[in-house]
Structure formats: structure tokens, C-alpha cells
Amino acid sequence: MKEEDVVKVKLGAFEVKTDSAMQAYYEEVMMAEQMKSAERAKSLLVEEAKTIEAYAADKGLNVQKTENGLYYVIEQEGTGEATTPGTTMYVNYAGYLLDGTLFDTSWPEIARANNSFQEGRPYEPLSVNVGMGQVIPGWDEGLMLLKKRLQGQIPDPFSIGVW
């Protein structure tokens, strides 16, 4: 075709739908897409579980898994009382991706060691009312598995410290 060529197109409608019919059509399409998405999520969970389990085996971790799918390791169990919903915890943390990349921490030393220290940012324990939806569900569930540390117990700077 050349720039000066003319193209004629004839359009026609096969079906005319009312607003409510269009709404029903879109709802049907969205429902089908949600079902596909749920199926993709199921297969991703299986793949992610394999990745996590391989990582744990490679690192020699004694990983436990909750019914909800949270993988966790308690390296040193606290000697205090069990955590209950509504308990306020002050949590020092370091979050890493499976490849070892630090994505967040409350410890300035760890941030510096991983070249992610931000001047002026407060590095301090995160105050969390456990079981109240203030943090992602995995944190709420994981924090509920911990026992309170007794006074004088020093937290390990490379694990979630609760005291």
C-alpha cells in the first residue's frame, strides 16, 4: 500500500446488548479470568514450595510448615510465655530474598553490611500488635509461634528478635 491509497472498511453489528446484558457479560469474563488466575496461583504455590524446600535443604535448615503454608525456623526458642493476639511486640528483623538479597531491616549494622543503609531512616524495632492485621498475614502467624524473651536475653541480630 501507498500513503495515498484509500481503504474502505464496512462495519456492522451482530448483536446489540443492553447495559445489563453487557454487565453480565463482563462479570462472566471476569469470573473466568479469576478462575484461571486461581489455577495459576495453585501451580505457583507448588513451584514456590519446591524452591523453598530446596533452599532449606541446601542451607541445612530444619524448616517447619504451618497449615497455612508458612515456612519457618525457630533457631532459639524463648523461655517466656506464649504470644497471644493483641500482644505488643517490638520486632527487630532482616528480610532477605531466597538469593540472599536484603530487602529490608530494622538493624543499621545489617543495612550497612548489605550496602542498603539509608541516612536519616530510623532503624529501630517495629512495634506490632500481633494478630491484629497490622502486618502481612505471614508475620502475624509467625509471630504468634514465638514465646516472649525474658529480660536479659540478647536477641540474635540475624533473626527476628522478640522481647
pLDDT tens, residue by residue, 144-162: 998 876 555 554 443 443 3
**pLDDT for position 131:** 92
Structural contact between residues 81 and 146, judged by C-beta atoms closer than 8 angstroms: no
**pLDDT for position 157:** 41
**pLDDT for position 78:** 79
Q: Which residues of the chain have pLDDT under 70?
A: 149-163
- Whether the pTM exceeds 0.75: the reply is no
**pLDDT for position 39:** 93
**pLDDT for position 158:** 39
DSSP character for 147?
B
Cell 512495634: give the residue. Answer: 127
Listed in sequence order, the residues at least 6 apart from 86 whose beta carbon sits closer than 8 Å to its beta carbon are 129, 130, 131, 132
